[in-house]
C-alpha cells in the first residue's frame, strides 16, 4: 500500500494489535475497548493531516489517552449485584502465567507499565518508546529498569516462577537460558 492508508483500512488491519496494547495497558477488556474506541475517534478527526506512517501517531494517542485516564478517573471498587465466579487453576500453567503477568503489570505505575508494554510486548525500540511517550531515552531505560526490578520480585510472578523457566521472555525480554 503506497501512501497513508484509508482510515477504515487502517482500523481493519491494526485494531487487533492496538486492542492488545490497550488491554495490556488497562488490564481490563471493557476498559481496553473503550480506550481503543476513544483513540480511534481522536485519530479519525485528525486523519487527513497524518503522514504516510500513521501508526506511531495512533500509538501515541493510545498511550497518552491511557495516561490521562489514569490521572482523571477513579479506579476503585465497583458495586456488583452478582459475585464473580471463582477462578480455576489451568493445568497447563500458561494461562496462569499470563494472568500473573497481567496482575503484576497492573501493580506498576502507569508510566512504567506503558514503557514495559511498548518495549517488551509491542517490541518497540528505546528510541521509538521515548519518542512515543515524549520522554528521553534515559527515562525509558530507567523506567524499564525499575519496572523489571519490580516484576522480578512481584509476589504473583514469584509463585509462577517454577513454570516460567521456558517463558522468561514474557517479562524481561530475554530468551530461555
Per-residue pLDDT tens digits for 110-151: 999 999 999 998 999 999 999 999 999 999 999 999 999 998
CATH code, 7-72: 1.10.1740
Q: What is the pLDDT of residue 164?
A: 43
CATH code, 94-172: 1.10.10.10
Q: What is the pLDDT of residues 79-113, one digit of tens each?
A: 677 777 777 655 666 777 888 888 889 999 999 99
In this structure, what C-alpha cell is assigned to residue 115? 514503557
Q: What is the mean pLDDT of the chain?
A: 81
Domain ranges of the chain: 7-72, 94-172
Model-wide pTM > 0.75: no
Amino acid at each position: 500500500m503506497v501512501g497513508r492508508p484509508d482510515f477504515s483500512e487502517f482500523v481493519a488491519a491494526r485494531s487487533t494489535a492496538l486492542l492488545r496494547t490497550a488491554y495490556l495497558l488497562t488490564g481490563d477488556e471493557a476498559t481496553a475497548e473503550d480506550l481503543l474506541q476513544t483513540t480511534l475517534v481522536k485519530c479519525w478527526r485528525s486523519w487527513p493531516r497524518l503522514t504516510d506512517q500513521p501508526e506511531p501517531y495512533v500509538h501515541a494517542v493510545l498511550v497518552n489517552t491511557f495516561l490521562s485516564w489514569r490521572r482523571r478517573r477513579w479506579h476503585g471498587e465497583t458495586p456488583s449485584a452478582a459475585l464473580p465466579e471463582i477462578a480455576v487453576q489451568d493445568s497447563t500453567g500458561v494461562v496462569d502465567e499470563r494472568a500473573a503477568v497481567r496482575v503484576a503489570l497492573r501493580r506498576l505505575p502507569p508510566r512504567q507499565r506503558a514503557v514495559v508494554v511498548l518495549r517488551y510486548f509491542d517490541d518497540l525500540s528505546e528510541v521509538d518508546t521515548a519518542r512515543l511517550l515524549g520522554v528521553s531515552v534515559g527515562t525509558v531505560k530507567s523506567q524499564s529498569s525499575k519496572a523489571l526490578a519490580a516484576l522480578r520480585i512481584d509476589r504473583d510472578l514469584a509463585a509462577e516462577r517454577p513454570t516460567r523457566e521456558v517463558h522468561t521472555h514474557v517479562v524481561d525480554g530475554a530468551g530461555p537460558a
